[in-house]
């Protein structure tokens, strides 16, 4: 295969083995929080829903069409004057995330509307100019860090209301000058975030798809270097920059740009092989789409705890982290539906998190019953589809690999019978072990079978 000469390829090695990256790999479950000015409308304005007129609730500023209010952008750009979340308590959020079992969280410091939730020195459009005044990013970083949850900062490069921002590559000298000011502004804000909140573990970049940013590969390459030098161990996903051929996420030779693959947004890989051994996380909304607060969930399919636990285990079984999004309202309260799901997931995690934290992809044939995860010689099967005859068959390739020699239910340590039980199909490349579930054992949710592996 021909390799292209690439000057602006990856800066970090493909599979970092330092403590910070190992910590990232072990998280399993994370929380995303989208919070900003868009929390005030909550996807509607004066009783009119923005559904269909805006891409998602946090995109409501770009609401257009017949239902959009007159002068909507001007209204939106003045909403910060009423941002005063009287119920906001970062410690309460952090406790909820901890009880849910989240090991890391990602917080929107600045979304596409350009509003900074920290008192940035480089713009007037910040939390300092609201009636609330206090530094929200600081409160979040401090509360989550104190709760033992690692913090990552979401940062949108793209800014809708910044006169120096432009989507297309700058053409005239005047445009080039303005865009250069924008790049310096972006650099200043990122260095400011690292100065203000040195406890953070990484950045989650967004809004990097425009031609203007893609053409700035030399600038973004140097900026990534600078951020990493300033903050050793920093973790950056693949959505920050591109190579000089405008290849994003992966460079022109297919190498990951950044420390983990960041393309799994409201979708999951179907097979482990798709991932080429790269680290990754998946970010997921509860409603079909909509990351910011949505007052009205009626008529939408909102994912259930079972849906989300299934996605969590699918992700972890393929070596990724699963990050569930929350969109608090304009007063700082989670949606009641989010409260309920956080509690349900937390209850499940209290019984089963051993199959999540610090586990890796298990090299066993995919099972129709659920998902495998592994830690050393302990194998976990999270069962979502219980067999009607209560016989759980574990396929093991006939290549001398370790086999299950004992099994128990993770939630109560009840021992289960394991028997070697081939069907005698000569062409089968697998051998089978059958685990018998007690009829008396019933479960409303997925449950985990914990197995010890050994020589047959
Ligand atoms: C972006 C934002 O536009 C959105 O508001 C939200 O913050 C989300 C987490 O990120 O939306 C995206 C970004 C990337 C993809 C899809 C939607 N993608 O890579 O397919």
Residue in 235, 194, 198 with CA at minimum distance from that of residue 24: 235
The model's pLDDT over 292-315, given as tens digits with 9 standing for 90+, comes to 999 999 999 999 999 999 999 999
Distance in angstroms (rounded) separating the CA atoms of residues 260 and 319? 11
Q: At what angle do helices 136-146 and 173-196 cross, to 10 degrees?
A: 40
Distance in angstroms (rounded) separating the CA atoms of residues 293 and 35? 8
Asked if the model's pLDDT at residue 436 lies above 90, the reply is yes
The model's pLDDT over 118-139, given as tens digits with 9 standing for 90+, comes to 999 999 999 999 999 999 999 9
Distance in angstroms (rounded) separating the CA atoms of residues 258 and 242? 10
Q: Tokens 């005063």 — which residue? A: 84
Please tell me the distance between residue 93's alpha carbon and the centre of ligand 1 in angstroms.
23
Question: 134 to each of 89, 130, 192, 327, how far by Cα in Å?
Answer: 12, 9, 17, 20
pTM over 0.90: yes
Distance in angstroms (rounded) separating the CA atoms of residues 219 and 268? 32
The residue whose C-alpha atom lies closest to atom 5 belonging to ligand 1 is 58
pLDDT of residue 419: 97
Predicted ipTM beyond 0.90: yes
Distance in angstroms (rounded) separating the CA atoms of residues 247 and 207? 15
Please tell me the distance between residue 156's alpha carbon and the centre of ligand 1 in angstroms.
10
Evaluate: CB of 206 within 6 angstroms of ligand 1. yes
Evaluate: CB of 54 within 6 angstroms of ligand 1. no
Distance in angstroms (rounded) separating the CA atoms of residues 49 and 61? 13
The residue whose C-alpha atom lies closest to atom 14 belonging to ligand 1 is 265
Q: Compute the chain's Rg from CA coordinates.
A: 24
Asked if the model's pLDDT at residue 431 lies above 70, the reply is yes
The model's pLDDT over 180-198, given as tens digits with 9 standing for 90+, comes to 999 999 999 999 999 999 9
Instruction: Kindly state the DSSP code that residue 365 receives in the 8-state scheme.
Output: -
The model's pLDDT over 405-429, given as tens digits with 9 standing for 90+, comes to 999 999 999 999 999 998 777 677 8
Distance in angstroms (rounded) separating the CA atoms of residues 167 and 310? 38
Q: Which of 291, 293, 325, 327 to mutate to test the pocket of ligand 1 (most atoms within 8 A of CB)?
A: 291
Asked if the model's pLDDT at residue 1 lies above 70, the reply is no
Evaluate: CB of 56 within 6 angstroms of ligand 1. yes
């Amino acid at each position: 295969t021909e390799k292209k000469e690439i000057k602006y390829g990856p800066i970090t090695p493909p599979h970092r083995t330092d403590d910070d990256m190992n910590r990232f790999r072990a998280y399993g479950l994370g929380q995303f929080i989208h919070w900003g000015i868009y929390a005030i409308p909550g996807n509607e304005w004066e009783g009119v829903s923005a559904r269909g007129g805006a891409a998602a609730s946090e995109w409501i500023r770009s609401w257009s069409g017949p239902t959009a209010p007159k002068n909507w952008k001007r209204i939106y750009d003045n909403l910060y004057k009423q941002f005063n979340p009287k119920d906001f308590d970062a410690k309460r959020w952090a406790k909820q995330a901890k009880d849910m079992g989240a090991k890391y969280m990602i917080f929107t410091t600045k979304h596409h509307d350009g509003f900074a939730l920290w008192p940035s020195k480089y713009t007037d459009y910040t939390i300092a100019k609201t009636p609330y005044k206090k530094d929200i990013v600081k409160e979040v970083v401090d509360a989550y860090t104190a709760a033992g949850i690692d913090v990552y900062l979401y940062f949108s490069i793209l800014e809708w209301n910044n006169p120096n921002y432009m989507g297309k590559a700058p053409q005239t000298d005047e445009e080039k000058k303005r865009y250069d000011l924008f790049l310096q502004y972006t650099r200043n804000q990122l260095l400011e975030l690292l100065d203000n909140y040195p406890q953070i573990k990484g950045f989650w970049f967004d809004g990097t798809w425009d031609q203007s940013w893609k053409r700035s590969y030399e600038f973004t390459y140097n900026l990534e270097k600078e951020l990493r030098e300033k903050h050793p161990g920093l973790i950056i996903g693949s959505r920050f920059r591109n190579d000089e051929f405008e290849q994003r996420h992966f460079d022109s030779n297919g190498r990951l740009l950044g420390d983990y693959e960041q393309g799994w947004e409201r979708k999951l890989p179907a097979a482990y092989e798709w991932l080429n051994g790269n680290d990754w996380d998946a970010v997921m909304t509860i409603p079909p789409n909509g990351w910011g607060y949505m007052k009205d969930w009626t008529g939408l399919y909102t994912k259930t705890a079972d849906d989300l636990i299934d996605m969590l285990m699918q992700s972890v079984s393929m070596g990724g982290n699963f990050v569930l999004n929350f969109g608090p309202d304009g007063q700082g309260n989670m949606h009641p539906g989010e409260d309920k799901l956080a509690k349900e997931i937390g209850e499940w995690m209290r019984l089963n998190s051993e199959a999540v934290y610090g586990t890796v992809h298990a090299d066993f044939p995919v099972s129709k019953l659920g998902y495998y995860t592994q830690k050393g010689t302990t194998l976990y099967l999270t069962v979502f589809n219980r067999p009607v005859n209560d016989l759980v068959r574990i396929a093991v390739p006939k290549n001398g690999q370790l086999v299950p020699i004992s099994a128990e239910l993770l939630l109560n340590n009840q021992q289960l019978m394991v028997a070697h039980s081939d069907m005698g199909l000569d062409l089968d490349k697998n051998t089978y072990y059958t685990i018998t579930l007690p009829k008396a054992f019933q479960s409303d949710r997925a449950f985990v079978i914990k197995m010890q592996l050994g020589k047959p």
